[in-house]
């Protein structure tokens, strides 16, 4: 009797877990699909990083939307005859060649955090430990240490070629990322037609390719986070081999060391182990412990390396809660965007982390009170904040490049006045709407599916969406979640094309009868 109650309890908990994620996913994708066709966010190429909003040109968005569907519909029967591996290898080759092309054609100078990462890596390579002094970049932002370490190693090997080498590594990382997403799509849907559509769709994700020039670890952290998901799915869906769990744990650890916001992926991975392996308590515990332990080891190894190298103890820095406080404040750049608050509150607290945390919590309380007293302001604030991140079709891929003064291929690609830039922006706008709407169709069709592995990407996407409601806003942060929708969009499009083929067949039959 007790055992039956226990089993019923687990069944209810799993259903509640799946249902909650799917409801959130449907609501979020519905809102994003609607807003992406009506409004778009963009920013000028100036260093100010200010977000602007404009009413969308719905006709252009729909033109791009139906053109992409039409092209894939037309080539559907042709490409299905081609060997699956040949299509994949072609896509990987195109991805690498286009990425390398962008690296050499654009070659933007470093600025902002990119420049700080490079300069601190060079300083550490030269034995300058003053970069950890109170108020200096690495003391304020120790979460950048993993990225600095990578660049320090590269600088020791390649000296003044470090920036170019890092960007070429990004190109390789992007190819691995595309492969990882392809394999995830294969594990989730096991359909050649869905895979072919995915392979075509991923080539249209232009922002992803432009980010290979970004000297900030975005591509690499996306690559390792995607591989972590891929290996976890292989463990859960194919063979229960612990080596998959170990590799997944190592990959997510590297992703977090490079960029700490990959912790959202770790939470998703842990929750999947928790619910997917509910009949295997020992395996569930081992998988979760390995994942957490691996992250702690990697993080502490990086910190320990710098403590030994500088013969100092890493000081406490700006508290994370300061970024939440900033995410609930207005900014000249946009609601919840960077306004310098973390540095300001830390400086005002005289580098006292605890005092800065207390002031940040007070700021959060003030923001919440303001939202409660003025609901209209709250709706406007979070509406604009969401649109500025999730309905910026370029995901800041043009902003991260610097304006090219001399006329060349690069200037035609990225300069604001260039017709080619405007064509790309229009395409990205339609592409974004396509991915959101087709992913919504996929989630709706699969809403009653009991396969827990299917909600892996949904879980991480919902987690990322909720996290960035309160955290610092940036379009570039949301790209790593957007690409997780592309396998879902491929499935949604496959179902739409299947319906179109069925409709055409019926029309032909009726004409033949008449």
Q: Give me the pLDDT at residue 441, please.
A: 94
Closest CA to 139 of 398, 383, 391, 316: 316
Indicate the pLDDT class of residue 450, thresholds 50, 70 and 90: confident
- Mean pLDDT is lowest, of 44-48, 451-455, 484-488, for 44-48
Q: In the structure, what pLDDT confidence band is assigned to residue 223 with cuts at 50, 70 and 90?
A: very high
DSSP for residue 403 = P
Q: Residue 279's pLDDT is what?
A: 63
**What does the pLDDT average to over 301-322?**
86
What angle separates helix 162-189 from helix 486-513, to the nearest 10 degrees? 50
Average pLDDT over residues 253-271: 93
Per-position b or e across 232-264, b if 16+ CB within 10 A of its CB: bbbbbbeeeeeebbbbbbbbbbbbbbbbbbbeb
Q: Report the DSSP beta bridge partners of residue 43.
A: 51
Q: Given the DSSP bridges, would you call strands 51-55 and 39-43 parallel, antiparallel or unpaired?
A: antiparallel
The per-residue pLDDT for 64 is 92
Q: Which two structure tokens, joined as six digits, stand for 352? A: 């006292």
Q: Is the pLDDT confidence value at 183 over 90?
A: yes
Measured on CA atoms in the order 119, 124, 125, 127, is the torsion positive or negative? positive
Pair of tokens at residue 417: 């006045």
The DSSP bridge partners found for residue 281 are none
Predicted local confidence at residue 403, as pLDDT: 66
Measured distance CA(209)–CA(21) in Å, rounded: 30
The pLDDT of 151-178, averaged and rounded, is 94
Mean pLDDT over each residue of the chain, to the nearest integer: 88
CB atoms within 10 A of CB 456: 25
Q: Give the helix ranges, DSSP H, for 238-374.
A: 242-258, 263-276, 281-310, 321-327, 341-348, 353-373
**Predicted confidence (pLDDT) per residue in 14-68, tens digit:** 677 778 888 999 999 999 999 999 999 888 776 678 888 888 889 999 999 999 9
**pLDDT(468) > 90:** yes
The answer, yes or no, to whether residue 2 has pLDDT greater than 60, is no
Residue closest to 68 by CA, chosen among 389, 379, 486 = 486
Residue 375 confidence (pLDDT): 92
Q: The tokens of 181 are what?
A: 């997403």
């Amino acid at each position: 009797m007790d055992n039956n109650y226990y089993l019923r309890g687990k069944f209810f908990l799993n259903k509640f877990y799946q249902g909650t994620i799917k409801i959130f996913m449907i609501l979020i994708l519905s809102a994003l699909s609607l807003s992406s066709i009506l409004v778009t966010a963009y920013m000028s190429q100036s260093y100010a990083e200010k977000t602007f909003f404009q009413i969308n040109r719905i006709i252009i968005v729909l033109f791009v939307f139906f053109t992409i569907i039409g092209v894939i519909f037309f080539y559907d029967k042709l490409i299905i005859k081609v060997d699956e591996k040949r299509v994949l290898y072609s896509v990987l080759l195109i991805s690498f060649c286009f990425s390398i092309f962008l690296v050499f054609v654009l070659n933007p100078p470093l600025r902002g955090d990119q420049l700080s990462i490079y300069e601190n890596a060079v300083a550490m390579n030269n034995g300058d430990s003053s970069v950890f002094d109170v108020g200096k970049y690495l003391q304020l932002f120790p979460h950048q240490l993993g990225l600095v370490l990578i660049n320090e190693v590269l600088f020791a090997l390649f000296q003044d070629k470090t920036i170019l080498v890092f960007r070429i590594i990004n190109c390789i990382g992007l190819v691995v990322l595309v492969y990882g997403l392809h394999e995830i799509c294969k594990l989730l849907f096991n359909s050649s037609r869905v895979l072919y559509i995915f392979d075509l769709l991923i080539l249209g994700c232009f922002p992803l390719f432009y980010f290979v020039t970004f000297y900030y670890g975005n591509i690499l952290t996306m690559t390792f986070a995607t591989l972590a998901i891929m290996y976890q799915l292989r463990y859960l869906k194919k063979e229960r081999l612990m080596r998959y769990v170990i590799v997944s744990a190592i990959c997510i650890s590297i992703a977090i060391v490079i960029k700490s916001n990959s912790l959202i992926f770790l939470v998703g991975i842990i929750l999947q182990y928790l619910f997917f392996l509910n009949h295997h308590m020992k395996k569930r515990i081992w998988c979760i412990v390995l994942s957490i332990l691996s992250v702690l080891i990697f993080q502490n190894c990086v910190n320990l390396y710098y403590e030994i190298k500088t013969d100092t103890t890493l000081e406490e820095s700006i508290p994370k809660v300061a970024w939440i406080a900033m995410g609930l404040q207005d900014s000249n750049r946009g609601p919840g965007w960077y306004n310098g608050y973390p540095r300001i509150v830390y400086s005002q607290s005289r580098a006292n982390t605890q005092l800065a945390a207390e002031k940040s919590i007070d700021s959060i309380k003030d923001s919440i009170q303001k939202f409660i007293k003025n609901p209209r302001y709250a709706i406007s604030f979070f509406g604009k904040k969401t649109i500025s991140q999730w309905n910026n079709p370029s995901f800041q891929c043009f902003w991260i490049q610097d304006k090219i003064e001399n006329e060349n291929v690069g200037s035609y690609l990225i300069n604001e006045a260039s017709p080619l830039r405007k064509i790309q922006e229009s395409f990205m706008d339609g592409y974004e709407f396509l991915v959101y709407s087709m992913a919504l169709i996929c989630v709706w069709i699969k809403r009653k599916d009991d396969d827990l592995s299917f909600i892996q990407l949904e879980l991480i996407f919902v987690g990322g969406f909720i996290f960035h409601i309160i955290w610092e806003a940036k379009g570039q942060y949301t790209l790593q979640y957007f690409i997780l929708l592309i396998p879902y969009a491929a499935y949604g499009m496959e179902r739409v094309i299947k319906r179109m083929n069925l409709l055409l067949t019926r029309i032909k039959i009726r004409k033949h009868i008449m």
